[in-house]
């Protein structure tokens, strides 16, 4: 049975700035899609392709905390560097993914990689927040550095395109990321006229973001930068590109647990939020210059 479309959301009217290095359109929860409705996904910011220009000033987001969830940063264009209070650092380039499990708490900063900042160029990224189940919220912070080379690509029949399996499973191919709950994160690239078909469980919350290009999704037109939210009925999804297209597909089993959030802290109760703020203020997340 075809998975029904609940709604197609156009790109928000205006972007917002996160620090001075991320010009983002917020789709979750900024377009009225509640976190429980799209659980386990908590937030989706899309930095549509934008040239910040060449600069000796390194743009980005200064030191900030995270606790109780995971941040997933997908690079389409440009280069992004990061550091954290556990001593980790790295750079992601187009096709790479930074999957950070904040868990019990960490300090973090993200910024345009220095050589990219100095020459300028198009910068296009998605940052997705994925909730952690209650039992895993205090897990030790860690990273999964997923490079383009270790993210498995599945070629589609008829030279239609490829599916890069970041997390979950597509057509029997498992994704590169280990996850704390069942979910799929797929980077789909279709050539004009190319088609992909797949089934996703009724029980999973499912959506897709048109990063570039346009397509017909289950007989409805999805234009560039639109966000398609599916109802929890039916399983079959068909996407046919009307021009070359890049599509981010998200699907996950809802956690069905209370969500208490305050800025960069996501827990299950307000008491846990207060404890998290106190821990951060007491320096328990470490130190990051």
pLDDT in tens, the chain (289 residues): 999 999 999 999 999 999 999 999 999 999 999 999 999 999 999 999 999 999 999 999 999 999 999 999 999 999 999 999 988 899 999 999 999 999 999 999 999 999 999 999 999 999 999 999 999 999 999 999 999 999 999 999 999 999 999 999 999 999 999 999 999 999 999 999 999 999 999 999 999 999 999 999 999 999 999 999 999 999 999 999 999 999 999 999 999 999 999 999 999 999 999 999 999 999 999 999 8
Q: What is the pLDDT of residue 289?
A: 86
Q: What is the pLDDT of residue 70?
A: 98
HEC string for 135-193: HHCCCCCEEEEECHHHCCEEECHHHCEEEEEEECEECCEECCECCCCCEEEEEEEECCC
What would the CATH number be for the domain defined by 5-252? Answer: 2.60.120.10
Q: What is the pTM of this model?
A: 0.97
Task: Please state the domain extents for the chain.
Answer: 5-252
* Burial zone of 199 (CB within 10 Å; 0-12 exposed, 13-18 middle, 19+ buried): exposed
Q: Which residue has the tokens 């000033």?
A: 57
Q: Which two tokens stand for residue 57?
A: 């000033």
Measured in degrees and rounded to the nearest 5, phi and psi for residue 196 equal: -135, 140
């Amino acid at each position: 049975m075809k998975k029904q479309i609940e709604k197609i959301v156009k790109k928000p009217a205006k972007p917002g700035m996160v620090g001075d290095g991320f010009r983002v359109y917020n789709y979750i929860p900024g377009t009225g899609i509640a976190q429980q409705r799209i659980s386990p996904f908590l937030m989706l910011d899309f930095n549509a392709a934008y040239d910040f220009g060449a600069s000796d000033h390194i743009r980005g987001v200064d030191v900030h905390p995270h606790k109780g969830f995971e941040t997933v940063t997908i690079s389409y264009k440009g280069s992004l560097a990061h550091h954290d209070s556990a001593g980790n650092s790295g750079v992601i380039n187009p096709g790479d993914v930074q999957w950070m499990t904040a868990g019990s708490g960490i300090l973090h900063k993200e910024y345009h990689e220095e050589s990219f900042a100095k020459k300028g160029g198009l910068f296009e990224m998605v940052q997705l927040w994925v909730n952690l189940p209650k039992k895993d919220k205090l897990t030790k912070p860690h990273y999964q550095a997923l490079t383009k080379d270790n993210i498995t690509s599945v070629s589609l029949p008829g030279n239609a395109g490829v599916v890069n399996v970041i997390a979950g499973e597509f057509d029997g191919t498992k994704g590169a990321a280990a996850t704390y709950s069942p979910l799929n994160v797929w980077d789909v690239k279709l050539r004009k006229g190319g088609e992909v078909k797949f089934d996703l469980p009724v029980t999973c919350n499912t959506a897709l973001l048109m990063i570039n290009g346009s397509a017909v999704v289950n007989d409805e037109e999805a234009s560039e930068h639109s966000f398609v939210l599916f109802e929890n009925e039916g399983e079959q999804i068909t996407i046919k590109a009307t021009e070359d297209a890049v599509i981010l597909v998200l699907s996950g089993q809802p956690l069905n647990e209370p969500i208490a959030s305050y800025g960069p802290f996501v827990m299950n109760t307000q008491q846990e939020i207060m404890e998290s703020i106190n821990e951060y203020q007491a320096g328990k997340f470490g130190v990051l210059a």
